[in-house]
Amino acid sequence: MMHTTRKPRWLTMVSSVAALALLVSACAGDDTTDSADTTPEATEEDGEETEDPDTEGDETAEGGDVVRLGILGQCEGPFGGFHEDTVAGVTLAMINEAGATSNSPDTALDGWSGAEVAGTSIELTGIACGDDTPDTILGEVRRLVEQEGANVVIGPLSGDEGIAVAEYAAENPELTFLSGIAGSQEPTLEVQAPNYFRFHGDGAQWNAGLGDILFNEEGWETAAVIADDYSFGHTSTAGFVADFCGVGGQVTSRVFPPLGTTDYSSFIAQLPDPDEVDGYFWAVGGTGTQAALEAFVNAKGDLNGEQHAGNLFFNPGLASALGPDIAGSYVGGFASLPGDVQTPEIQDYLASADAAWDTLAGGVTGNEPADPSAAASFGFMYGYYSAGIALIEGLRAVDGQIADQAPLQDALANLTLDLPYGEVSLDENRSGIIDTFVQQLVLDGDEVVAETVAIIPDVTQAFGGTFSEDTPPPSRDFPTCEERDLPWEGNAIPVVDGVPQQ
């Protein structure tokens, strides 16, 4: 049967308008690129112009000597819930130290206005939308730099992304990159891009001292490990294995589910039963933490908190889904500290976040609007805040000169930041030397909260000689489980009721 099908003309009109608008946007993007060219040649030209003091003021006014800052966030993937946190961290740094104001009372994604350091404006050029994959973040950082004209980049958030961005940084030495909170080991220890700076630790550093406490104080002699099968999961595991085995423990099983797994039952089945091992170390992050623990409960029975330890993703919020049985678990450190430790600097920092916005829908609160200090107290926002502060301090050190970024990079490499949660300086590979805070989930009445139990001072990425540029990157089977001397063995500083005992 023949029939005639005619499409509504309005549909054709709508699609035509949409296509035209996209093409117009494409042309506009090209114009932007032309006016904000960041090719090495263009940067050199900027540098030549800036050397003329008579024209310097004009250049600033015209945007020639301006920090065009790109932020690498993550709006999709396992850590997509922390997108707001990443931008909020940088924005808060601009508000606190560069005189900026937030463009919105309830979201950081609208950016800021009026940031200036030593006469140099800091403009938000763009926010990248990563999804935890290197391909996507590489495309996004190239878009920010090559299309939007960013000359300084803060980010990324996650491990594999960090490696890709560090390699991109190595290919573009005229630009400056500050890691957001990407905790894989390779960006600094392997790639060693001279213009990539990490003012935080890596996944291994954040687990320093955990194995020592579990072996010597909790009596664990054997442990099984389950971790995300990517660079951050491997790095986190590497820290635990090096520490736990270093003091005499044995890791009997290592299981690595792919990042983004939703059904963990087959991986849980590979773990030994609770009566076959003294404890489990979990480095399953993002949206997977709760799902993996629930699969464990289904397969191996109720949780016994004293038999579990985890990396930074083992947080009190898990108790809302898993119940108070999770209390007793030990947790590795992160960039920030649990709420039991309060100093004037921490209180000022958290208060400044509450003053900057009415509410923020951060990842810690499940993207529900909440007090901004809730997001600010967690490591994702704090890591980006630290990077923002580093940029501001670096600019101050070079009197705002950004046209040639070599002096800025030299200044950043030698910075020691006095941050709310403690000092951070950089090692020879421009990775953070940090204090790690071992925590424990405890019951406070009916509520599960995190409590700081020990401080491991001055942990470096080399991890007491365990890792170097000549050792393989952390992997499923590296490092091997063997005894080794670690500088902090037996030297952890106890913390009681939020007060370090030394």
Partner 1 sequence: MTRLTPLRLRSPGTVVLVVVLVLLFLLPTVSSTFFVDFVMARTMMLGLAAATIVFLSAYGGMISLAQLLFFGIAGFMYGNAVLESGARGLTLGWPGWVSIVFALVVTTVVALLLGALASRTTGIYYLMLTLVYGVIGFYVFAQVVPISGPGGVTSIPRPEVLADPVRLYYAGLVLSVIAYVGFRALSVTPFGRSLQGVRDDPVRMASLGFNVPLHRMLAFTLAGFVAGLAGLLNVWWNGQIDPASIGIGPTLTLLIIAVIGGMSRFEGAWVGAFVYLVANNYMRDLPLVDQLGITEARFNTIIGLLVLLIMVLSPEGLVGIFEKARAWWQRATLTPTTEAASTATTSTGVGRSGPPATADDPAADTAARSDTVAHDSPREGTDR
Closest CA to 290 of 258, 266, 326: 326
Pairing verdict, β 447-459 and 493-496: antiparallel
3-state secondary structure 285-296: CCCHHHHHHHHH
Which part of the chain contacts partner 1 (CB under 8 A), choosing from 30-38, 42-50, 207-215, 281-289? 30-38
Q: Would you list the DSSP string of 224-281?
A: EEEE-SSHHHHHHHHHHHHHHHHTT-EEEEEE-PPTT-S--HHHHHTSPPTTTSSEEE
Helix (H) and strand (E) counts for the chain?
A: 16, 19
- The least distance separating partner 1 from the CB of residue 48, rounded to whole angstroms, comes to 21
Which part of the chain contacts partner 1 (CB under 8 A), choosing from 7-15, 92-100, 196-204, 276-284? 7-15
Cα 271 to Cα 228, 261, 289, 292: the distances in Å are 14, 16, 16, 12
Which part of the chain contacts partner 1 (CB under 8 A), choosing from 200-208, 239-247, 353-361, 467-475? 467-475
- 160 token code pair: 């594999």
Establish if 15 lies at the interface with partner 1 (CB under 8 A). Answer: yes
Establish if 476 lies at the interface with partner 1 (CB under 8 A). Answer: yes
Establish if 499 lies at the interface with partner 1 (CB under 8 A). Answer: no
Between CA 468 and CA 474 the distance in angstroms is 11
**Residue whose CB is less far from partner 1, 79 or 215:** 79
H-run or E-run covering 212 = helix 210-216
The correct pick among 229, 325, 371, 427 for binding partner 1 (CB under 8 A) is 229
The correct pick among 258, 301, 323, 366 for binding partner 1 (CB under 8 A) is 258
Between CA 369 and CA 358 the distance in angstroms is 9
Q: Specify whether the CB–CB gap between 223 and 277 falls below 8 A.
A: yes
- The least distance separating partner 1 from the CB of residue 279, rounded to whole angstroms, comes to 25
Which part of the chain contacts partner 1 (CB under 8 A), choosing from 33-41, 111-119, 216-224, 407-415? 33-41
**Residue whose CB is less far from partner 1, 162 or 333:** 162
**Residue whose CB is less far from partner 1, 107 or 120:** 107
Residues of this chain, 55-84, that bind partner 1 according to CB under 8 A: 75-76, 80, 83
Q: Specify whether the CB–CB gap between 297 and 303 falls below 8 A.
A: yes
- Please state, as a whole number, how many other Cβ atoms lie within 10 Å of the Cβ of residue 446: 7
Establish if 45 lies at the interface with partner 1 (CB under 8 A). Answer: no
**Residue whose CB is less far from partner 1, 105 or 219:** 105
Coil/strand/helix, residue 395: helix
Between CA 274 and CA 280 the distance in angstroms is 9
- The least distance separating partner 1 from the CB of residue 231, rounded to whole angstroms, comes to 5
Establish if 5 lies at the interface with partner 1 (CB under 8 A). Answer: yes
Establish if 30 lies at the interface with partner 1 (CB under 8 A). Answer: yes
H-run or E-run covering 68 = strand 67-74
Establish if 167 lies at the interface with partner 1 (CB under 8 A). Answer: yes
Which part of the chain contacts partner 1 (CB under 8 A), choosing from 13-21, 213-221, 262-270, 360-368? 13-21
The correct pick among 91, 231, 329, 461 for binding partner 1 (CB under 8 A) is 231
Site of interaction with partner 1 (CB under 8 A): 1-7, 11-12, 14-15, 18-19, 21-23, 25-26, 28-30, 33-34, 39, 75-76, 80, 83, 109, 127-129, 133-135, 138-139, 142-143, 146-147, 160, 163-164, 167, 171, 186, 190, 229-231, 256, 258-259, 472-473, 475-476
